[in-house]
Chains A and B, each alone.
Chain A
């Protein structure tokens, strides 16, 4: 539970990839998805704002989010809303090999976002201040969260609203200067996990915890005993300009998806089963 970031520990998960408009980082994003089943992408609001579409282009980008966008009244909130959707659709279109305008962002009953009709990939979105973060996975579920590393949490007494009893004991045993960093790490991990499972803060953060940094990260019960196993991967990374990002990935055991192309909608086993049921020879043209 020290400063975030122990990239050599735990199952592999590629470091977040920085993207800029017109940049050439998308190949790395595709490589991460092919290699790890997961890719983390981030961008700066200041880089995206100058290139966001307007008029019909904006309406096309937002799709069903257009109505929600119109309800927003504050310019900063609107700007971040547009930029985050643009980054999400650009990232998804890069790995799905599709046009961003063809992707439709939808929301589940708990507000969890997904790409309608593209269940080969799960997505998560986070933004804080100037940083926008997107997580993509073909493994199963993903949740991501970003926060400023120096955001005041410990001194403002939020620890007892964030930590399990076990985490509180560990935190109190740490040198004072390290406690806020540790709490920010725990916060982003909990946010990422709760987003991945679609619970948000309905699942109280004092009811589940994480162990210290420097070893494989697992969900723990309030007393510090193991809560989940190897099916979950958690990682925390420092990124530029003093930010911390965490990712929680649930591996449903499907194995690596070899082809995430948007047209790859049907599982081949499923196609074979249907073909067999229809009494057709799959090799007959």
Chain B
């Protein structure tokens, strides 16, 4: 499933990582303010993106402050 749509991206992250993410409001929540968010979830997000055919450099993901910024990177790197 493509992740170009922000809503689809948020739902995919919510379902795959098992996080409590409000849609669409959760897009702008700081990652550290997402219940259950931690560094392992960041790694799981990397794996999820790769499985979906998106190869966003980890150092760019580390700089993202919200899921909207992660999604922007997903679109940027295709």
Contacts and interface: CB of A to CB of B under 8 A. Distances in A.
Interface of A: 71-74, 76-77, 128, 147, 151, 153, 156-158, 161-162, 187, 191, 200-202, 204-205
A71 B28 CA distance: 12
Nearest to B61: A201
Given A76-B35, A128-B38, A158-B40, 14 more contacts: A71-B30, A72-B30, A72-B32, A73-B33, A74-B35, A147-B40, A157-B47, A158-B43, A158-B44, A161-B46, A187-B40, A191-B39, A201-B39, A201-B58
B62 interface: yes
Contacts of B39: 191, 200-201
Contacts of A128: 38
Given A156-B44, A157-B47, A158-B43, A77 B59 contact: no
B32 A77 contact: yes
A201 B47 contact: no
B73 interface: no
A187 B62 CA distance: 17
A74 B47 contact: no
A40 B59 CA distance: 31
Interface in B30-66: 30, 32-35, 38-40, 42-44, 46-47, 58-59, 62
Contact of B62 (A73, A151, A191, A200): A200
Contacts of A191: 39
Contacts of A73: 29, 33
B40 A153 contact: yes
A200 B30 CA distance: 18
A201 B38 CA distance: 12
Contacts of A76: 35
B34 A74 contact: yes
Contacts of B30: 71-72
Contacts, number: 43
Interface string B1-35: 00000000000000000000000000001101111
What does DSSP make chain B's interface, helix, strand, loop or mixed? helix
A149 to B, nearest CB: 13
Contacts of B46: 161
20 contacts: A71-B30, A71-B33, A72-B33, A74-B35, A76-B35, A77-B32, A77-B34, A151-B40, A153-B40, A157-B47, A158-B40, A158-B43, A158-B47, A161-B47, A162-B43, A200-B39, A200-B62, A201-B42, A201-B62, A205-B43
Contacts of A74: 33-35
Contacts of B42: 201
Nearest to B20: A74
Closest 7 pairs between A and B when the two form their complex, measured CB to CB: A76-B35, A72-B33, A161-B43, A74-B35, A77-B33, A73-B33, A74-B33
A67 to B, nearest CB: 13
A234 B58 CA distance: 26
A174 B58 CA distance: 29
Nearest to A191: B39
B40 to A, nearest CB: 7
Contacts of B32: 72, 77
Given A74-B35, A77-B35, A202 B47 contact: no
A151 B38 CA distance: 13
Contacts of B44: 156, 158
